[in-house]
Amino acid sequence: MLKKRVIPCLDVKNGRVVKGINFVDLADVGDPVESAKAYDAAGADELCFLDITASHENRGTLLDVVRRTAENCFMPVTVGGGVREVEDVRALMLAGADKVSINTAAVRDRSIVGRAAEKFGAQAIVVAIDAKKVSGDGQSPRWEIFTHGGRNPTGIDAIAYAREVADLGAGEILLTSMDRDGTKAGFDLALTRAVSDAVTIPVVASGGVGTLDHLVEGIREGGASAVLAASIFHYGTFSIAEAKRHMAEAGLPMRLDGLEGIG
């Protein structure tokens, strides 16, 4: 049986982790490779790197991080942030990314999704959707795509967009609620459910995790195939093992055999 996935996410800027993770044994909390190794050993199901470097000139630094991570981890890695062209996807794949996440570039020009999927297979192409609720109370719910960290509205309906990129060949959707991101109030479950029901590809729920029950809700009520979280793991509020055991105890199918890593 396919298991539900728990995915820690690392924000990387100029080759350094922005919010250092709070692991006791970590020699250098700013080194993304050290953090990746720690999550690998802890039994994370996948890892997500989000490059938030403003300038495209520092791309080589990210590729080096991805390369060193792939050489040191026996788990799959998704890399996102700053992907503009199919060539960016190729560079990341050759460096060792298993999946590459496309965000703004796909909002600007949907065709990149199909072109990338044709080259690398749908399974390697993730479309990241940052959505915000735009409907008022009492109205039927509507979410729009926002870019630039939730600052720029696009007027594009998030559900219709999800359907569109799935049809174009995306293999997964990384769905972040900009309303919930950083709030620790839990996922936007209605949004997660609406997107998950609209597409036949896996959806990763992101944005708002504060408790372990939130992870369970994202799967059970949101219909997500995987849950992504950053701060609860980075700051050591909960370990990957605690998260997965909690989800298993709640009755979700989880992989528990990797929790000690392979040393």
Partner 1 sequence: MRIALIDYGAGNLHSAAKALMRALDETGQRGEVIMGADPEVIAKADRIVLPGDGAFRDCRENLAIVNGLEDALDHAVRSKGRPFLGICVGMQLLATRGLERGITAGLGWIPGDVVPLQPADPVLKVPHMGWNTLSMTSAHPVLEGIALGPQGLHAYFLHSFHLIPEGTGNLIATAGYGGPVSAIVGRDTVIGTQFHPEKSQVLGVKLLANFLKWAP
Measured from the CB atom, is 144 or 218 closer to partner 1? 218
Task: For residue 30, give the nearest of 75, 76, 61, 70 by alpha carbon.
Answer: 61
Q: Which of 88, 130, 157, 167 is catalytic?
A: 130
Measured from the CB atom, is 103 or 225 closer to partner 1? 225
111: tokens are: 């065709």
CA distance 103 to 158: 13
Which residues contact partner 1 (rule: CB under 8 A)? Answer: 1-5, 40, 43, 45-46, 67, 70-76, 93-99, 117-124, 171-172, 199-203, 225-226, 255, 257-258, 261-262
- Least distance in Å: CB of 146 to partner 1? 25
- Least distance in Å: CB of 111 to partner 1? 16
Please state at what angle helix 158-168 crosses helix 111-120, rounded to 10 degrees.
Answer: 40
- Least distance in Å: CB of 96 to partner 1? 4
Q: Give yes or no for a contact between 261 and 40, defined as CB atoms under 8 angstroms apart.
A: yes
Task: Give the distance from CA 51 to its chain's centroid.
Answer: 12
Measured from the CB atom, is 142 or 220 closer to partner 1? 220
Q: Give yes or no for a contact between 234 and 21, defined as CB atoms under 8 angstroms apart.
A: yes
- Least distance in Å: CB of 194 to partner 1? 15
Q: Give yes or no for a contact between 208 and 27, defined as CB atoms under 8 angstroms apart.
A: no
CA distance 90 to 145: 26
Q: Which of 11, 64, 167, 179 is catalytic?
A: 11
Q: Is 11 a catalytic residue?
A: yes
Measured from the CB atom, is 17 or 79 closer to partner 1? 79
Helix (H, G, I), strand (E, B) or coil at 133: strand
- Residues assigned a catalytic role: 11, 130
